[in-house]
Amino acid sequence: MTQRPGNQLFDAYFTARDMRDVFCDQGRVQAMLDFEAGLARAEARVGLIPASAVAPIEAACNAGLYDFAALGEAIATAGNSAIPLVKALGKQIAVSDAEAERYVHLGATSQDVMDSGLVLQVRQALALIESDLADLADSLATQAQRYAATPLAGRTWLQHATPVTLGMKIAGWLGAVTRSRQRLRELKPRLLVLQFGGASGTLAALGEQALPIAEALAEELQLTLPEQPWHTQRDRVVEFGAVLALIAGSLGKFGRDISLLMQTEAAEVFEPSVPGKGGSSTMPHKRNPVGAAVLIGAATRVPGLVSTLFSAMPQEHERSLGLWHAEWETLPEICCLVSGSLQQARLLADGLEVDATRMARNLELTQGLVLAEAVSIVLAQRVGRDTAHHLLEQCCKRAVAEQRHLRAVLGDEPAVTAELSSAELDHLLNPAHYLGQAHVWVERAVAEHNALSV
């Protein structure tokens, strides 16, 4: 069986197929050809080239007509992908219309083709990411509301703290996703812009028709015309990469929490169970958090890639040597990693398996110690903060030393029972009564999500 070359073993795990299609060789070449076709239409609209040249140019702007292996070999000599592609495009056009071949790529430079092509790819990538984020947010909002009142141990420094709710924890994941969606909306007007400056950014080759052509080209490609060409001003690209890194990091937090909650010692929340998922090659009992691993892996890899984008910002003069080149594979790889993370995150959020009974049991592991603060706060209002804190601290130490429930120790302490009745102690030692504003945080996170989704 013939297989196309490349590293494909991990693609299905770490990358969503739709995103890989955007940034595969076919996607990259087609985006550049879309620029060339748009340029021909724009120049014909302005009258720089004859209208009869447009159809032959457009017909040749089909990535399926080109040999990617040959282009790759030529790139090694040319130094970028546009030079050999434009040559191949010219030859393809000349087969059917030698006259039209004279007008291809008129007034543009290689970086115009590559950067505008990249923006066209990024627009597709953005649509996929925004759709996945919206779906993920919908699932998280549903789950946050479902478990808004389900108590579990809050954990600080990896140890039991005070009770929270699973809904509150999920609302935290939701809030991060909502902010990422907001950031993407805010940056789109800055990001989805045309790159068209010619040799050194002046468009001098097009004379007085330069600006009208640029405006027409932006319309043809449905991009915004920026205030000036941005050949070596890379903040737009880097901002996008940085926002993607924030998304990867937030999803990594989601994955980290899930993996910790799946630990044998916790066993409170699980990834959805699918035949063959998360098994071990030697241990039949294992159920590994393989989806969470993708989220954590992407969150680990993306920052290093983004640092490459930041490092490539101080580019030389009007065209960069090497720094621009460092971006070519970096931004697509970031997009692909984030897409794979989102793909797994959606599966996790949709199919979360929750063991509320285990959560309640785990809350009792410390035999009431997680509610010591609740008792201390009320007691402080009657005997003073320092006295109450010292008293509860001693009772907690006694409970641990005697392996007794804190409720029993407090019930035997005259200094406590003199201030708090048996009913009050029962109430204070019930986790469901010490959840604070957890339900409010859920409501607020869901409301913000709903407002963004209108």
Residues composing the chain: 454
Q: What is the DSSP code (8-state) at residue 435?
A: -
Per residue in 331-368, pLDDT (tens digit) is 999 999 999 999 999 999 999 999 999 999 999 999 99
Is 280 marked active-site?
Answer: yes
Per residue in 62-78, pLDDT (tens digit) is 999 999 999 999 999 99
For 284, residues 6+ apart whose C-beta sits below 8 A from its C-beta are none
Residue 208 confidence (pLDDT): 95
Higher per-residue confidence, 10 vs 93? 93
Residue 285 confidence (pLDDT): 60
Average pLDDT of the segment spanning 354-383: 95
Check whether 5 has a pLDDT greater than 50: no
Average pLDDT of the segment spanning 268-286: 67
Percent of the chain with pLDDT over 90: 92
Is 453 marked active-site?
Answer: no
CATH 1.10.40.30 domain locations along the chain: 369-428
Percent of the chain with pLDDT over 70: 96
* Strand-pair partners of 224: 193
Structure tokens at 74: 């030529």
Average pLDDT of the segment spanning 287-301: 93
Give the pLDDT band (50/70/90) at residue 4. very low
**CA-based nearest residue to 253, from 183, 162, 169:** 169
Residue 38 confidence (pLDDT): 98
CATH, domain range 111-193+230-362: 1.20.200.10
Which whole-number Å values give the CA distances from 238 to 9, 196, 242, 320, in the listed order?
29, 19, 6, 15
Q: Check: CB of residue 180 under 8 Å from CB of residue 247.
A: yes
Q: Check: CB of residue 278 under 8 Å from CB of residue 286.
A: yes
Task: Enter the pTM of the model.
Answer: 0.93
Per DSSP, the three-state class of 124 is: helix
Cα dihedral: 236, 237, 243, 246 (round 10):
-140
Check whether 316 has a pLDDT greater than 90: yes
For 24, residues 6+ apart whose C-beta sits below 8 A from its C-beta are none
Check whether 372 has a pLDDT greater than 60: yes
Q: What is the DSSP code (8-state) at residue 154?
A: E
CA angle 34, 203, 96 (to 5 degrees): 40
Strands 269-270 and 151-156: unpaired
CATH 1.20.200.10 domain locations along the chain: 111-193+230-362
Distance CA 10, CA 337 (A): 11
Per residue in 147-199, pLDDT (tens digit) is 999 999 999 999 999 999 999 999 999 999 999 999 999 999 999 999 999 99
Check whether 322 has a pLDDT greater than 50: yes
Residue 2 confidence (pLDDT): 40
**Residue 443 half-sphere exposure toward CB, CA atoms < 13 A:** 5
CATH, domain range 369-428: 1.10.40.30
Which is the catalytic residue, given 96, 280, 307, 453? 280
Per residue in 405-446, pLDDT (tens digit) is 999 999 999 999 999 999 999 999 999 999 999 999 999 999
CATH, domain range 16-33+35-101: 1.10.275.10
Per DSSP, the three-state class of 200 is: coil
Residue 8 confidence (pLDDT): 76
Distance CA 342, CA 336 (A): 10
Per DSSP, the three-state class of 270 is: strand
Q: Which helix (H) or strand (E) holds 128?
A: helix 110-146
Which is the catalytic residue, given 301, 319, 358, 398? 319
Q: Which helix (H) or strand (E) holds 132?
A: helix 110-146
For 420, residues 6+ apart whose C-beta sits below 8 A from its C-beta are 375, 378, 379, 410, 428
Average pLDDT, the chain: 94
Check whether 240 has a pLDDT greater than 50: yes
Which whole-number Å values give the CA distances from 387 to 67, 328, 368, in the listed order?
81, 64, 20
Average pLDDT of the segment spanning 210-224: 98
Q: Check: CB of residue 425 under 8 Å from CB of residue 407.
A: yes
Residue 15 confidence (pLDDT): 86
CATH 1.10.275.10 domain locations along the chain: 16-33+35-101
